[in-house]
Amino acid sequence: MIATRQQPCQNHFPGSTTLQEPHTKSPKTTHPANAQRPTTTTTQSPHVETLETSHPAQNQPPNKPTLDPLTATPKTNKPTPITITLLPDPTPAYPLALSAWHTLYSTHSTTPHPSPSTFAQTYSPPHGRLLTASTPTHPLAGLVAYRAYDDRFAHHAPLRFAPGAEVVEVVRLFVREECRGQGVGRALVRELVEVARRDGVAVMYLHTHPFLPGAQGLWEREGWEVLVREERGPWWTVHMGREVWRSELRLLDLY
């Protein structure tokens, strides 16, 4: 079960230290009128919440003026606005999740894709969370989710997580091909970490494979650490983890 309230920082990893900086007063900064902050709307219900977060230009590569090939005049590549939504009911994301599974795993996995009802139950609170991304041209550009971790890889010593730690498994990161290169995947991952932090999650585990181009690099850039490499079976598996509450990862000290 995933906790639904934020917990204070706890030392789930032996050897971890937390440094506190002295409080300093920041000078006031005047922001130009055209600089907009991300907007967040939260609707609360007895069991679930819907969250929409707009990711502005800072999540995109800096603008680089280029020359229009027809007029030879400078032009600017504007960043794509990205909106991340936390779905209380994951059912609307099922078609994209099924398409992603066929695109990435159908030739590698012998496990059938779950039914719509199983999918909805797995990624609905309190069992899991599912986020979707949208852009002005694609209302469903990508998705990512997490679910309760079931300890099925505990035969690897580094994956025997600290007793009592709330551990989730990150799954189903997928971005439509025509939406890649716009920061959609990065925005999804960063928002999922924030959701996990509010849920009181301690560790976010995942595994990826070399046949998914760029996947390991993305996770490493977002703070995940390689715990175990399995170089056997029909394809290799890379097990990774990230501690939610600390900047220094001590995942190898968990056993």
pLDDT in tens, 119-135: 999 999 988 999 999 99
Listed range (40-44, 103-107, 169-173, 174-178) with the worst mean pLDDT: 40-44
- Residue type (1 letter), 43: T
**Per the structure block, which two tokens stand in for 100?**
């992603």
Q: Rounded to an integer, what distance in angstroms lies between the CA atom of residue 215 and that of residue 238?
A: 10
Furthest C-alpha separation in the chain: 64
Which run of H or of E encompasses 219?
A: helix 215-221
Question: Which tens digits make up the pLDDT trace of 51-93?
Answer: 556 655 444 555 555 554 444 445 446 788 999 999 999 999 9
pTM above 0.75?
no
CATH superfamily membership of 50-56+67-253: Gcn5-related N-acetyltransferase (GNAT) (3.40.630.30)
- Which of 239, 159, 244 has its CA nearest to residue 200? 244
Q: How confident is the model at residue 106 (pLDDT cuts 50, 70, 90)?
A: low
Percent of the chain past pLDDT 90, that is, above it, reads: 48
Average pLDDT over residues 3-31: 41
Average pLDDT, the chain: 75
Pairing of strands 82-86, 74-75: unpaired
> pLDDT tens digit string along 199-222?
999 999 999 998 888 899 999 999
Residue 15 pLDDT: 39
**Averaged pLDDT for residues 172-193:** 95
pLDDT of residue 54: 61
So what's the pLDDT on residue 78? 76
Q: Give me the pLDDT at residue 236, please.
A: 87
